[in-house]
Structure 1
Amino acid sequence: MTDRIRVLLVDDQELIRLGFRLVLEAESDIEVVGEAADGDEAVRAVAALAPDVVLMDIRMPRADGIAATRAIVRAHAATRVLVLTTFDLDEYAFGALDAGASGFLLKDAQRTELTAAIRSVHRGDAVLAPAVTRRVIERATRGGGTANPLPPDGANDPLGDLTERERDVFLAIAEGMTNTEIAQSLYLSESTVKTHVGRVLAKLGARDRVQAVIMAHRHGLVDPRPGRS
């Protein structure tokens, strides 16, 4: 039996935490290891419990979810943060991504979407609500300010230093494919895909998959039409 994914719930509303707990504890591969009611509590709880994934609310008293996410990501690189909010607004989406969140979902996400998102960020994938993904890409391709700034493009060819296989992986990331989907598409093992993804991000100078997606769209490497991102 594989180890279960250890999750910390962070929300200032007790009933919401209870709802998440009931949903997640019904999953055989997920374990809720603790709860926190604000950002300060969340930072302390991560230090004490070392969860794999933090479900993080945005609007909370004292330290908010963005500040807590930034502190957690800086101090605990192995812990992934999945932000949930009722507010579908750019300032929260970009703020959370800039703070280092691995995912952003709205609280009206379906149960299956939530559990799938937890598993995805635990595997190292990035998760964005479709509406948020569209606006991240739109803002980046317009050249407007983004809270998740891109690294310099060097010779303006993001594929220049990539091997042929790494190019394939980069384009798959840009299409929003998970490691599992990339492995199936390219007939590789997931461990090999993870290695390629790490090398791609390092060569591009991208902090995470979100930056890689933005870079690909900015350079016109993928179809920007709805449903393609």
Structure 2
Amino acid sequence: MIESPSPVTVAIVEDNPKYQAFFTEAVKSDTRFQLMGTAGNGAEAKRLADHCRARLYLVDLGLPDISGIEVIRHISDTQPEADLMVISMFGDEDNIIASVEAGATGYLLKDGSREEIVESMLAILQGGSPMSPMVARKLLSRFQAKSVQAAASPAPKVSATSTALTAREVEVLRLLAKGLTFDEVSTSLFISAHTVAQHVKNTYRKLSVKSRAEAVYEAARAGIIEM
């Protein structure tokens, strides 16, 4: 008898009861997901994350006590193997960039349907970075502006110490750059997911970054990996 894969664990961070109920319905509507809990503020979110260690977090930014960005940073630092998707009313560039830099791998505005949320959750688990069209457009504009600026000035020197990645760390980073999830990297390299997470933590520290996207970008700029 072939056993079906275990459902993906999910936690929700949202202070608005209406939206919290909506996101809860979205998660529970698909048997591939298992809701581990909900939190209505930042302090609760940190406790929930430390306790349940979910695979995927849906995080609102406008929490009553602290910014959701701080919650994202906390989870990203303590659980680098987890994926974090922002679902927020805030679509301004500052919040988008701050969320991505803190460790978010997806960013949706609160105008999506339940089906769109489920599709985005599945996409993020497959190594994608789902974003609302307006969010993607703002990120693209920001990236294009930085590319023009970088082309007009010499590339900064990267210290040998900061980029002294081990062969295994480079191998893990290459696979992540191809869109593989932590579990897929673990299977591909015949190492545990915990070991993958530790390699990623070391890579973040050496490259002075806080997210997978930043790590891939900086490693490519330094010539450590090819895109």
TM over 0.5: yes
Aligned equivalents of 1:116 and 1:151: distance in 2? 39
- The secondary structure found in structure 2 opposite 1:6 is strand
Aligned equivalents of 1:78 and 1:213: distance in 2? 15
When structure 1 is superposed on structure 2, of 71-80 and 204-213 the one drifting more is 204-213
- The secondary structure found in structure 2 opposite 1:104 is strand
What residue in structure 1 maps to residue 16 of structure 2?
13
Offset from partner CA, 1:106-143 (integer Å, 9 cap, x none): 12234343223222333444333322431342343243
Which 5+ residue runs of structure 2 have no aligned equivalent? 160-170, 192-198
What residue in structure 1 maps to residue 104 of structure 2?
101
Aligned equivalents of 1:78 and 1:9: distance in 2? 17
What residue in structure 1 maps to residue 167 of structure 2?
none
Given candidates 136, 140, 145, the residue that maps to 2:146 is 140
Q: CA 1:68–1:114 in structure 2 vs 1: closer, same or farther (change >3 Å)? A: same
Given candidates 206, 209, 213, the residue that maps to 1:210 is 213
The alignment status of 1:26 with 2:32, answered yes or no, reads no
Aligned equivalents of 2:158 and 2:103: distance in 1? 21
What residue in structure 2 maps to residue 131 of structure 1?
137
Q: CA 1:151–1:132 in structure 2 vs 1: closer, same or farther (change >3 Å)? A: farther
Given candidates 55, 64, 79, the residue that maps to 2:58 is 55
TM-score by length of 1: 0.65
Q: CA 1:207–1:143 in structure 2 vs 1: closer, same or farther (change >3 Å)? A: farther
Aligned equivalents of 1:58 and 1:118: distance in 2? 18
Which 5+ residue runs of structure 1 have no aligned equivalent? 145-149, 155-165, 181-188, 223-229
Is the 2:73–2:102 contact (alpha carbons within 8 Å) kept by the matching residues of 1? yes
Aligned equivalents of 1:132 and 1:41: distance in 2? 31
Q: Which has the higher contact order (CA 8 A, sep 6+)?
A: 2
- The secondary structure found in structure 1 opposite 2:23 is helix
CA RMSD of aligned residues (A): 4.0
Q: CA 1:16–1:99 in structure 2 vs 1: closer, same or farther (change >3 Å)? A: same
What residue in structure 1 maps to residue 166 of structure 2?
none
Aligned equivalents of 2:157 and 2:107: distance in 1? 25
Aligned equivalents of 2:105 and 2:186: distance in 1? 19
Offset from partner CA, 1:59-112 (integer Å, 9 cap, x none): 111111001111111122232211111221011101111111122121223434
TM-score by length of 2: 0.66
Q: Which runs of 4+ in 1 moved over 6 A?
A: none
Count of residue correspondences: 194
Query: Equivalent pairs: percent with the same residue?
Result: 20
